[in-house]
Structure 1
């Protein structure tokens, strides 16, 4: 009975392609017309619909279990090259009227209104940015509180993603930043651990989209603070994949050495809506997929168990 029920669930899941991934808004998963329905993903992060079983949810997700350049990874020396922020052309339009902020079920996403990333002779257009909790990439073996992904697409249908770690500001820095805002001073302050204004603004309305499939308009968004922080630091670049189904490879990753911050209260507010939505770290780029290694190990263990029983 259990086996037939599980088979039915997998067949039902594979009837529709996984939506609402890191590629949402790109050629891989085009966005619905303005004002249309917010599509909710049919994958997740726990149990039968979690990362261990993504390849079984849809035939398009094969790379999740067989790809050899999968993301996220542990950002350690030897797996990335360094590109200085000053060598990157990065622009992101301010959104004085606010932006659409959507709950896709698998993450919360801000629909952007223009921006470009030009690096190594290639130009990509910004489509959206969304969040993972905790961070998906590890910083030399250490996870961070959150990670923001800014997703870009080129005219040649290539995808680039800027990954930025988000940490929790200490109470003193958060209080000082709040006083500055009350007094009308704008202080980026991210390098000193003060909350990043953009994140505080975006997450100020996250509780209004607590239900998957809902959207809200954010307050005005000033993007220059984050752009300045990114350009003042460096990018750790490598070729990887989407961190969500269909796990397509060839993604140009730019993991920033910068840190953004949110206040403890804002982190709690975001966590209560986003929940847990991080794929486990993958193998070193170029090495066998860890799910394939696991499958081989399980098969070997089963054979040995059978031999032991016969003996």
Structure 2
């Protein structure tokens, strides 16, 4: 895993790569002068995911050739379940607020300390940012948003905690209060479209969800309209991280090895997709949507399967050959 990331880091040093998911890590260090750098990739048209590999060749080539790409559909068999009590997760509160930046492809909070310890590995928190709608699917279902908390180890390995965010029209409350009132829902039966089995025969985790909007997110998004222009930043009100952290640790994480969901799509990323759910009010969701727009990479194949862009290219080539070999239609 480390060799894959290091090779991409060396290649990236020779060209200009903007990676939202890796921003602040060794793959994409922050500008020393504090400038908010605007990403050069996007999510639609010629700069969208279908063409990421060509935007910065060969650095981004794994976007089209990698076999452990993210995001994926989180179904039974593609992840292992890890209880929150089996990890050590801490994130410092930010009583003076934090820098909240618009990178053009997402909005990002520069954190002020935090660690994720899994087994014998310790990762340091670099930042957290948001995707709309969610990038990972929850058994075939997209969620309103997804938060990515990006960590880096001293050995230059990357781990990301993914947290689904739903829309809730109840009054905002703290995550601690929400955790005390957590409701549990069973994942819906697998649809035949996705070829899933009845979850009763599997060990799929239930999905705890906050019953009221999350105070941290409501506080943060109260300022998002102040960074509506890419390249701008604002200082947030005080951010209380500990309540959300406690809520996450009280639940479980779905673990798998994947990739960054933005260029250069580096593989070897340790994903921890939470079974818990945070939520925001409809007003806050609308404010974030108006700033971010659409910024979700389409779901990739199950880890270990061929890259879907490679399969698409082969299919297109086969169709072109078949069309060329077909007899010409008679002229009327």
| Structure 2 CA distance for partners of 1:214 and 1:238, relative to 1, 3 Å | same
Q: Which has the higher helix share?
A: 1
Aligned residue for 1:61, secondary structure, equals coil
- Aligned residues, how many? 287
Partner residue, 1:9: none
Partner residue, 2:140: 141
Spell out the pairing of 1:1-311 with structure 2 (5 A cutoff).
16-33=15-32, 36-59=34-57, 60-169=59-168, 171=169, 173-174=170-171, 177=172, 187-189=177-179, 191-309=209-327
TM norm structure 2: 0.84
In 2, distance between residues paired with 1:30 and 1:278?
22
In 1, distance between residues paired with 2:29 and 2:115?
18
Aligned residue for 1:287, secondary structure, equals coil
In 1, distance between residues paired with 2:284 and 2:20?
24
**Regions of 4+ moved over 6 Å:** none
Deviations along 1:195-224, one digit per CA (max 9) or x if unpaired, are 101100110000000000000000000001
Aligned residues: CA RMSD: 1.6
Preserved CA contact (<8 Å) 1:188 1:225: no
For residue 247 of structure 1, report the CA deviation from its aligned partner: 0.1
In 1, distance between residues paired with 2:301 and 2:119?
26
In 1, distance between residues paired with 2:131 and 2:167?
14
Aligned residue for 1:156, secondary structure, equals coil
Residue ranges of structure 2 left out of the alignment (5+ in a row): 1-13, 183-208
Preserved CA contact (<8 Å) 2:143 2:166: yes
For residue 32 of structure 1, report the CA deviation from its aligned partner: 1.4
In 2, distance between residues paired with 1:207 and 1:310?
58
Residue ranges of structure 1 left out of the alignment (5+ in a row): 1-14
Deviations along 1:72-108, one digit per CA (max 9) or x if unpaired, are 0000000000000011100000000000000000100
